[in-house]
A and B are shown apart, each in its own frame.
Chain A
Amino acid sequence: MSQAEAVADNRTPKMIGRKVNVFYSGTQALFDVDLDISAHQVTALIGPSGCGKSTFLRCLNRMNDVIDGCRVEGDITLDGEDVYHRGLDVVQLRARVGMVFQKPNPFPKSIYDNIAYGPRIHGMARGKEQLDRIVEQSLRRAGLWEEAKDRLDQPGTGLSGGQQQRLCIARAIAVNPEVVLMDEPCSALDPIATARIEELIDELRQDYTIVIVTHSMQQAARVSQRTAFFHLGVLVETGDTDHIFTNPRDQRTQDYITGRFG
């Protein structure tokens, strides 16, 4: 992607959050968060534990709906459409905004079925050949094809941790989402597997908009173009990653990235 295109994309954010407040059975977890997610960029959400970064991430594809006693206020839009609109089908939303979780969580099914499940339930493949093609394409994009092509019928749970996480990424992109949310995708992985996932994230940016929650500031600095710093449920600062890490405006951001707390 050329520099000019990236700038153009910056002007029209893919997702916009305005005055987002989240309550967990009475306790407020997020306070008036305003955040834009730029298309075809990696946005990193950083902050100490319990700061609300995962909560915000899960608002973007309404995964918080599943949690009892969770209430979301404010506006979140995807390409200008209200995500929390009454008439919006949450299943369609999650097909457009996919998710990768902290711990690799492949289904206890074969590698093939792990990838094919999404396209199947969304009716994306007509016939076996098309499904095969989607599976291969997704695995190739996730950089798992060479390792997995001879064992597609074996359980996904038999792969190593890093391979499982790439399988989960392949599974998420198999339904061809526009946005991929990643909730600390490398926290359960060793450094080598982490490096592979980070490379992968950088490649995926071409086709998808990525939001990643991470504990590691180095990781945020390595993979993201934009960074948002959360603290105690408040979005403290957001901006270009280079800028945030070299020249933070807020004292709290400064303290966090220099390791004074967190």
Chain B
Amino acid sequence: MAISQVQSAEQDAQLDIARRVARRHAADRRLRLYGLTAILLALGLLALLVASLIATGHHAFVQTEVALEVHIDPEEIDPATPDRGNYRDIVRSGFAALFDEPIPQADERAVYEMLSNGAQYILRDRVVADPALIGQRLTLALPLSDPFDQFYKGTIPRDVPEEQRRVNDLQIGYFDQLVETGAVSAPFNWGLFFNADSRFPELAGLAGAIMGSFYALLVCFLISFPTGVAAAIYLEEFAPKNRWTDLIEVNVNNLAAVPSVVFGLLGLAVFLNFFGLPRSAPLVGGMVLSLMTLPTIIIATRAALKAVPPSIREAAFGIGASRQQVVWHHVLPLAVPGILTGTIIGLAQALGETAPLLLIGMNAFITSASGGIMEPATALPTQIFLWADSPERGFVSRTSAAILVLLGFLVTMNAIAVILRKKFERRW
């Protein structure tokens, strides 16, 4: 009796342990499941974003063109002044020649609407660049206007009632003839990268925005990298730990949390109104962005310096290195990967920043790529903002395409950060 009681108590104890083990394992599994769900959710949302961007944006990566032959008539174009002349008629007659029958006077307007408004300027620029073309025949591909670009890509369907689409039945008739001749094609849209902004979606490109962003980031880097790294080195390696340095640390951390639009207002008040620097210039944009990047770089650099093991500092001090030698020879080289990563992440953040640039006027409509840090320019995010605001059909897909380009730059920068970190990483 007593023995069986002892046995059953032992069994109970074992069962209890088994139950607890089972519960603990279940809790582990649950926790893992929560984490996995969260990651899948995040990845799913990201995939959704990119997919929707690609769905609307992929149209902008091709551009519908028509190949036509023009005769650059010396009667129309004076070789002395090749920039003036009736290029519109030259282009139009070349276009009309693509059709089998002459176009009735009544239909002319409808037919010529198919060509981009900018087509004549493309021809003009070719001729200005090479006046020897005058008097010759020239075959070139010219962009179609936005509605026909969209029609060819299928974003304007045929089965929509005529009054609800921007291409009417008459134009569709002519357009179908044109397609049959084989003159219409949709090659890769290099213009998206090499054209500056334009009122006409078929001509609008990101060159101005890319150059503007490049110059702004260059200025931002030149200001915030040396300043940020120097500030972090001083705070981490030289400054005494007292109330003042604590105050500075708190302020730097707070600065990182200030909404970017506030920096924009500051830039507007100080750089533009007080110092009188040019409006819309990448110089000012870069200066404003550097205010934002500075705290990021300081914090990242301090973290990188802190991560260098104290034993390395002690070793260097122990053989009689001065503070400056300890920092330059031992601490900084080990902190470089962290500093570079922080800097690139800070710059990537600055690249995507819109609000401060709007306030200093870097959302101007500028039809030529920026020539320098003092010339007016747009930046990639402000260009997206501008295009998103435009009503034309073509700008919808161009907005998505521009976002994809911006994301491409961001991914590239982050990849460079990862590669640099891997390359310079040293173990101890």
Binding site for B on A (CB under 8 A): 61, 63, 66, 68-69, 91-95, 98-101, 103, 105-108, 117-118, 121-122, 157, 168, 171-172, 174-175
Contact B320 A63 (CB under 8 A): no
| A105 touching B320 in the complex, CB below 8 Å, given contacts A157-B427, A157-B428 | no
Q: List 6 A-B contacts (CB under 8 A).
A: A69-B241, A107-B312, A108-B428, A121-B320, A175-B319, A175-B320
B406 on interface, CB distance cutoff 8 Å: no
Q: How far is the CA of A161 from the CA of B54 in the complex (A)?
A: 55
| Inter-chain contacts of B329 with A (CB < 8 A) | 117, 121
CB of A90 to closest CB in B, whole Å: 8
Q: How far is the CB of A42 from chain B (nearest CB, A)?
A: 19
Q: Is the CB of A68 within 8 A of B427?
A: no
The docked-state distance in angstroms from the alpha carbon of A245 to that of B316 is 36
- Indicate whether A99 sits within 8 Å of B316 (C-beta atoms), given known contacts A108-B334, A108-B427, A117-B329: no
Are B428 and A171 closer than 8 Å at their CB atoms? no
Number of A-B contacts (CB under 8 A): 70
Which B residue's beta carbon lies closest to that of A93?
Answer: B320
Q: Please measure, in the bound complex, the distance between the C-alpha atom of A149 and the C-alpha atom of B160, giving whole angstroms.
A: 84
Q: Cβ of B314 < 8 Å from any Cβ of A? A: yes
Q: Which of A93, A121, A157 has the most CB of B within 10 A?
A: A121
B320–A103 touching, CB < 8 Å = no
- Complex CA gap A44/B426 in Å reads 36
Docked CA distance A117–B320 (Å): 10
The answer to whether B319 and A105 touch across the interface, beta carbons within 8 angstroms, is no
B317, A107: Cβ atoms closer than 8 Å: no
Cβ-based interface call for B315 (8 A): yes
CB distance from A85 to the nearest CB of B (A): 17
**Bound form: Cα–Cα A105–B313 in Å:** 9
C-alpha spacing A107/B427, complex, angstroms:
10
Q: Nearest Cβ distance between residue A69 and chain B, in whole angstroms?
A: 8
Most buried by B among A63, A108, A122, A171: A108
Interface residues of B in 303-335 (CB under 8 A from A): 309, 311-322, 325, 329-330, 334
Give CA–CA (A145, B346) in the complex, Å: 47
When distances are taken between beta carbons in the complex, the residues of chain B under 8 Å from A91 are 320-322
Tell whether, in the assembled complex, residue B317 and residue A117 are in contact, meaning their CB atoms are under 8 Å apart.
no
Question: Is the beta-carbon distance between A63 and B426 smaller than 8 angstroms?
Answer: no
**B-chain residues with CB within 8 Å of residue A61 when the two chains form the complex:** 318
- Minimum CB–CB distance for A141 against chain B, Å: 15
Q: Is B240 at the interface (CB under 8 A from chain A)?
A: yes
Cβ distance B412 to chain A, nearest Cβ, rounded Å: 30
- Give, as a whole number of angstroms, the nearest-CB distance from B244 to chain A: 14
**A118 pairs with B334, CB closer than 8 A:** no
- CB A71 to nearest CB in B, in angstroms, measures 13
- Cβ of A103 and Cβ of B311 under 8 Å apart? yes
Question: CA A175 – CA B426 in complex, angstroms?
Answer: 26
* B binding-site residues for A, Cβ under 8 Å: 240-241, 309, 311-322, 325, 329-330, 334, 426-428
Q: In the complex, are the beta carbons of A94 and B320 less than 8 A apart?
A: yes
With the chains together, A106 CA to B314 CA distance in Å? 11
Nearest CB of chain B from residue A5's CB, rounded to whole Å: 29
Contacts A101-B311, A157-B427 given; does A107 touch B320 at CB 8 Å = no
* A172 near B319: Cβ-Cβ < 8 Å: yes
Q: Which residues of B contact A99 (CB under 8 A)?
A: 314, 318-319
Rounded to whole angstroms, the CA-CA distance of A172 and B318 in the bound complex is 8
Q: Which residue on chain A has the smallest CB distance to residue B314?
A: A101
Which one, A69, A100, A107, A157, contacts B316 given CB within 8 A?
Answer: A107
- List the B residue with the shortest CB-CB distance to A122: B320
- With A103-B311, A105-B311, A117-B329 as contacts: A98 and B316 at CB distance below 8 Å: no
Closest B residue, CB atoms, query A174: B319
B240 touches A94 (CB 8 A): no
Query: Which chain A residue has the least Cβ–Cβ distance from B319?
Result: A118
A105 near B314 with CB under 8 A, answer: yes
The CA of A198 and the CA of B329, in the complex, are separated in Å by 31
Contacts of A122 in B (CB 8 A): 320
Known A105-B311, A105-B314; judge A68-B319 contact (CB<8 A).
Answer: no
Q: Compute how far the CA of A107 lies from the CA of B314 in the bound complex, rounded to whole angstroms.
A: 11
Q: How far is the CA of A106 from the CA of B312 in the complex (A)?
A: 7
| Cβ–Cβ contact A68 & B314, under 8 A | no
A172→B315 CA distance, assembly (Å): 9
Nearest Cβ on chain A to B81's Cβ, whole angstroms: 69
B428, A95: Cβ atoms closer than 8 Å: no
B315 close to A101 (CB less than 8 A): yes
Supplied contacts A107-B316, A122-B320, 12 more A-B pairs, CB within 8 Å: A63-B314, A91-B321, A94-B317, A94-B319, A99-B314, A99-B319, A101-B311, A105-B309, A105-B312, A118-B320, A171-B315, A175-B320
Residue of A whose beta carbon sits closest to that of B428 = A108
Q: Is there an interface contact between A171 and B311, defined as CB atoms closer than 8 Å?
A: no
**Contact between A68 and B241, CB atoms less than 8 A apart:** yes
A93 to B320, CA, bound (A): 7
Question: Of all chain B residues, which has the CB nearest A175?
Answer: B319
In the complex, how many angstroms separate the beta carbon of B359 from the nearest chain A beta carbon? 42
**A95 and B311: CB pair below 8 A?**
no
Which of B240, B315, B317, B322 has a CB less than 8 Å from the CB of A168? B315
Residues of B within 8 A of A108 (CB): 312, 334, 426-428
Q: Which 8 A-B pairs have the closest CB atoms?
A: A94-B320, A99-B318, A105-B311, A95-B320, A118-B319, A105-B315, A108-B428, A108-B426
Nearest chain B residue, comparing its CB with the CB of A66: B317
Q: Tell me, rounded to whole Å, the shortest Cβ–Cβ distance linking A159 to chain B.
A: 12
* Closest beta carbon of chain A to B427's beta carbon, Å: 7
Contacts of B317 in A (CB 8 A): 63, 66, 94
Q: How far is the CA of A101 from the CA of B317 in the complex (A)?
A: 11
B308 to chain A: closest residue by CB: A108
B332 to chain A, nearest CB (A): 13
Say yes or no: B321 contacts A121, CB within 8 Å.
Answer: yes
Output the least CB separation between B303 and chain A (Å). 19
B contact residues around A157 at 8 Å (CB): 427-428
What residue of chain B has the Cβ atom nearest to residue A156's Cβ? Answer: B428
Cβ contact within 8 Å between B314 and A121: no
Q: In the complex, A103→B310 CA distance in Å?
A: 11
CB distance from A230 to the nearest CB of B (A): 21
Q: Considering the chains assembled together, what is the distance between the CA atoms of A122 and B330 in angstroms?
A: 16
